Structure 1
Amino acid sequence: MKISFLIHTIYGIGGTIRTTLNLAEELAGRHEVEIVSVFRHRDIALFDIDPRITVVPLIDTRPASPTNEKQHPLQLQAAEFFPRHEARYKEYSKLTDERVREHYAGDGAGADVVIGTRPGLSAYVAQFAPPGAVLIGQEHMTHNHHKAALRKEMYAHLDALDAYITVSEGDARVYREKMPLPATRVLAIPNSVPEPPVAPSDASGRTIVAAGRLAAEKQYHVLIDAFAEVVAQRPEWDLRIYGWGPEKEKLRTRIDRMGLYNSVRLMGPHSPIEPEWAKGAIAASTSRHESFGMTLVEAMRCGLPVVSTDCDYGPREIIADGEDGILVPVGDTGAVAAALLKLIDDEELRRKMGAAAVRNARRFDPATVARQYEELFEELRTSAAQRAEADAYAPVADCVVEPDGALTVTLLQPRPGAELACVRTDARTDEHRFPFDDSGRATVPADARFHEGVWECSVRLPGSGRRVRITARSLDQRGAMHAGRRTHDDGVRNLVPYPGKPAKHLLLRSWVRPVHAEAGDVKVTGGSITVSGELTGPAAGKADRAGGPPVLIVRRRGRGSVDLTYPGAWVGDSGFRFTFPAAAPAALQNAADEWWDLLVRYAPDAEPARLARVLDDVVEKGPVFAYPVTQLRKKRPYALLRIAARRLRGRAQQYVRVRITYANTNDLLVNVADVPVK
């Protein structure tokens, strides 16, 4: 079997590099293994690489190399296939897109298994790996570590993999709950740590050892503060911290300020680290977050009991509290000090826990971890075959909005036993399924309860459960033009199909408003803005005409929120009309570009209804419903620009523009923004 690891760089130092090498070396004894390093930034890797492993660098970024490609024309262009919200996006380019694609179409085409070692590289695996290969993504951070925008961007790529592997069961559980992937196995396999080349510590020393990147999330300041309590009682003990990172100078300053410079040492990076662990008697970790905890396992394999914060997710799955280490609350300096003193004052307990640590950490041996991977590879061969079948299926459908609001989706190529799967793009746990009949037709009933948002439509294949996105051919949206005539007990609803961009995948836009004010005509004249509209749904029957005229609320978003209110007039049975001056929000401007919501209070004691236009067939109002812009001379600069305004000394007049427009949710907004000075 040929196994290919795709990694950012194999030439540096770090947990992902180390664990990749540990696993690759163990697998190399039974399989053909390659490590594809997207970048090569130094001549020789910092970690030793087993000669049985083939290393394939794709882009040379070594400063002194004659083949340095930092200025390659494609390297200077933004990547198209690497996720835009990935932390390393700026380092990737059209050149990385091209090189990864070329490798797996050429020399790497024979790979039976391809493993991506970070989110962006898992996306590359999903898009470029050879047909028929088992596709695996590894999560070396955690679900919660990533921003919502990246999780949303990654969903389609993870959905295309055969398996997604986290390093802790806690994180796998979060993925399964918050990002369900019906055709992708989501499971936990821990990182591997080899048996150390040195004998375990005998726990007789007087040194506490910590190791890891000197970064804020490691909270070494908590460890230093705790050690200050320890050394006040046990001055013969010292603390050694191994690693490098941006917090080094802050930590050095803290050590000096606390007078600990004779007992706390910043040792710098060491490789191999095992001989340094073995010099210690106790290991310590005070991280506020750990996806796994490689250093904990390293210390345990070297015979050290570990005092660690009980942070998500790794430590509690590595340390048996009270048996091979002690877990303490995150950020609790006193608890860390107490746990250290407990082990310091009881050498027999240290020895007992250290021996247990050696025994318990054997489950992280590369041979044990590699067997879990190999068993998974075998299990996933069937999944890979089903995925290849799904990849060959490209469903195309027509969609009609019926007069009552129901949708009819008809596949041009019917698939027996398939279902129409509609998944909300910003909440993947929210899914509706509707069966296709033998003719390839599925009906979304008019009373189907879709939450507000964008929904992606796929064919869910029988057996594998794999979803294949539908390409829209013909969309008949006429039924949505009469959404305002339909009544629902829970408010107003509208479900409109539309083609996504650029691939024309079938999407649904759902609006659900318990209380709704539907915007109508907007007129901009002489510095005034007039908005007409109509209360719809249950709100229409709650309008309190006896309580006075309706009130328009113009509310600034964000910090410094403020309401401007304007009485309007009732028109007909449920209509309203308001007029307000464009100069009013402009006079309160406090940012270069700010937004104001429009809301209608239709009864004195009622929650105001957001003014929006959602009861028709136009999904994106902003580009279509365009209104004149009002430009005003700025009477006073807002606070952030007063200095800049004084600097102009009258040489250029500042202006502000006020425009009324629709957001991507089709809510009506007022935008106040500076006009650039020319």
Structure 2
Amino acid sequence: MTQREIFFVANEVNELGGVGVWQAQMAKLLAERGHRVRIIGIAPPEVPMDLGENPPFETLTLYDRRPPGRRRPRALLGRVDPAVRRQEADMRAAAERLSREFRAAQPGAMIIVTQVWAMEWVALADTAGHPVVGMSHESFEASRKSSRFERVQKYYKDVDRLLVLTQEDADLWVGEGLNNVGFMPNPLPVMPDTPSPRTEKVVASIGRLSHAKGVDLLLDVWAEAAPRQPGWILRIYGAGDHEAELRRQCTELGLDDSVEWAGQTDDVIGALGRSSVLVQSSRGEGFPLVLLEAMACGVPCAAFDCSPGVREIIRDGEDGLLARLGNTSELARHLVRLMADQDLRDTMGDRARENVQRFSPDTITHRWEELFEFLER
């Protein structure tokens, strides 16, 4: 396989979160195959993620501080609005730094723009004839409900390939008139040597304490499930602005004796090894890494069917259980099934650990390299 220069251009080099974890993993995987990899961030991270000592890729951040959102010209001034002109000049100066990096690259280099905000700078840069891959790490429906929908249509319509997470999402973008769409799943982050024993009476939830992650719905689910399986604990890993409100809800539902607030964890695999079931109650997801991690640990998952990525990962009834989005009673019944039946947990957990290997790092990295070869033709 041809060794290449590969640029990841992102909102940040190392922002803590799903995209940041995916980006660091893919950069490492490609570097280990002999490619020269650089991650270029537009702005510094708000919550930085540790990339470890001597990562096998280079990094560069364009701004010392996060630049403000693009100004709209004041009606009477239009394009001559001084504030708008200053901001555009600043963006073009930052984009010129990108241009210099791209021009210095050897033929066959690839530019992967991992988030649409970063694409606003790449669109101003000279990509020097290198193929550009634009990415959306969220579902079509989640994008449609945000300002990113119009920006994907605007900035990604002319890239060499727009990559989303599933075939289902790709088809929906094609329906919007984009003819350059493909899909690429996230790779499995880790494959522990041994699975969870699945013997502790613990259901784990791992994610931000935010509206999108639906922990308020999860507490309603647990209020139905916990009385039917006494002795089980819901252990909630995560932090966020909604924590105080969620703790109050927990108390009002009478759940304080069966809910543990474990805080944010850097040891997801350890947390899963001490759990027998993972529950995900999100209102929306892209291609959630925590489901991949849980399945790699042999921990069966019960989740809301909130996006194509979730139902791509979990094979309902085979290696996990899916409930209709927002149907708390259905998700509660799924949890009770798994809590009540050790044999079911073991069967689904073992199948999950086997099935999730279709997203192995080698498999996904090979798919990326095949895409590079195709785009260079």
SS in 1 for 2:104: helix
Matches within 5 A, 1:130-149: 130-144=127-141, 145-146=143-144
Change (3 A) 1:342 1:165: same
> 1:153 offset after TM fit, Å?
4.6
Q: Distance in 2 between matches of 1:287 and 1:241?
A: 13
Q: Is the 8 A contact 1:168 1:313 kept in 2?
A: yes
Q: What's 2:29 paired with?
A: 26
Q: How many residues align?
A: 356
**Paired amino acid for 1:24:** A
SS in 1 for 2:59: strand
Q: Is the 8 A contact 1:10 1:17 kept in 2?
A: yes
Q: What's 1:59 paired with?
A: 63
Work out which structure has the larger RCO, using CA pairs closer than 8 Å and 6 or more positions apart in sequence: 2
SS in 2 for 1:56: strand
> What's the CA shift string for 1:436-491, capped at 9, x where partnerless?
xxxxxxxxxxxxxxxxxxxxxxxxxxxxxxxxxxxxxxxxxxxxxxxxxxxxxxxx
Q: Is the 8 A contact 1:78 1:94 kept in 2?
A: no
Change (3 A) 1:359 1:49: farther
Pick from 308, 311, 327 the counterpart of residue 303 of structure 2. Answer: 308
Q: What's 2:170 paired with?
A: 172
> 1:362 offset after TM fit, Å?
1.1
> 1:330 offset after TM fit, Å?
1.2
**Quick check: 303-312 or 187-196, which moved more?**
187-196
Pick from 244, 252, 275 the counterpart of residue 247 of structure 2. Answer: 252
Q: Is the 8 A contact 2:131 2:376 kept in 1?
A: yes
Change (3 A) 1:197 1:232: same
Unaligned runs of 5+ in 1: 62-69, 81-91, 383-678
> 1:191 offset after TM fit, Å?
1.1
Pick from 200, 207, 220 the counterpart of residue 215 of structure 2. Answer: 220
| Structure ranking higher in strand proportion | 1
Q: Distance in 1 between matches of 2:190 and 2:376?
A: 31
Q: Is the 8 A contact 2:11 2:117 kept in 1?
A: no
Q: Does 1:116 align with 2:113?
A: yes
Q: What's 1:158 paired with?
A: 156
Matches within 5 A, 1:387-536: none
Q: Distance in 1 between matches of 2:71 and 2:290?
A: 34
Q: Is the 8 A contact 2:98 2:122 kept in 1?
A: no
Matches within 5 A, 1:268-283: 268-283=263-278
Pick from 333, 338, 343 the counterpart of residue 348 of structure 1. Answer: 343
Change (3 A) 1:206 1:52: same
Q: What's 1:12 paired with?
A: 15
Q: What's 2:83 paired with?
A: none
| Structure ranking higher in helix proportion | 2
SS in 2 for 1:246: coil
> 1:99 offset after TM fit, Å?
1.9
Matches within 5 A, 1:325-340: 325-340=320-335
**Paired amino acid for 2:119:** S
Q: Distance in 1 between matches of 2:223 and 2:246?
A: 13
**Paired amino acid for 1:166:** V
Q: What's 1:290 paired with?
A: 285
Change (3 A) 1:251 1:3: same
**Paired amino acid for 1:215:** S
Change (3 A) 1:381 1:46: same
Change (3 A) 1:153 1:234: closer
Q: What's 2:81 paired with?
A: none
Pick from 233, 244, 266 the counterpart of residue 238 of structure 1. Answer: 233
SS in 2 for 1:290: coil
Pick from 188, 194, 210 the counterpart of residue 193 of structure 1. Answer: 188
Q: Is the 8 A contact 1:115 1:122 kept in 2?
A: no
RMSD between superposed Cα atoms in Å? 2.4
> What's the CA shift string for 1:285-342, capped at 9, x where partnerless?
1122212222111111111000011122211111111111011111112111111111
Unaligned runs of 5+ in 2: 73-86
SS in 2 for 1:187: strand
Q: Is the 8 A contact 1:193 1:364 kept in 2?
A: yes
Q: What's 2:203 paired with?
A: 208
TM-score using structure 1 length:
0.50
Matches within 5 A, 1:65-144: 78=70, 94-106=89-101, 109-110=104-105, 112-144=109-141
> What's the CA shift string for 1:337-387, capped at 9, x where partnerless?
1111111111011011111111111122222111111100110113xxxxx
Q: Distance in 2 between matches of 1:280 and 1:165?
A: 34
Change (3 A) 1:3 1:49: farther
Q: Is the 8 A contact 1:289 1:313 kept in 2?
A: no
**Paired amino acid for 2:340:** D
Q: Distance in 2 between matches of 1:109 and 1:326?
A: 50
Change (3 A) 1:373 1:246: same
> 1:148 offset after TM fit, Å?
7.8
SS in 1 for 2:43: strand
Change (3 A) 1:52 1:148: closer
Q: What's 1:472 paired with?
A: none
Q: What's 1:375 paired with?
A: 370
Change (3 A) 1:15 1:49: farther
Q: Distance in 2 between matches of 1:269 and 1:291?
A: 21
TM-score using structure 2 length:
0.87
> What's the CA shift string for 1:180-229, capped at 9, x where partnerless?
23xx2x11111122224563201111100111121112211222122122
SS in 2 for 1:326: strand
**Paired amino acid for 2:163:** I
Q: Is the 8 A contact 2:139 2:307 kept in 1?
A: no
Change (3 A) 1:13 1:44: closer
**Paired amino acid for 1:128:** A
Q: Distance in 2 between matches of 1:273 and 1:93?
A: 42
Q: Distance in 1 between matches of 2:53 and 2:92?
A: 26
Q: Distance in 2 between matches of 1:266 and 1:138?
A: 34
**Paired amino acid for 1:143:** F
**Paired amino acid for 1:301:** A
**Paired amino acid for 1:248:** E
> 1:232 offset after TM fit, Å?
1.0
Q: Distance in 2 between matches of 1:151 and 1:208?
A: 35
**Paired amino acid for 2:231:** E
Q: Distance in 1 between matches of 2:6 and 2:336?
A: 47
Q: Is the 8 A contact 2:139 2:309 kept in 1?
A: no
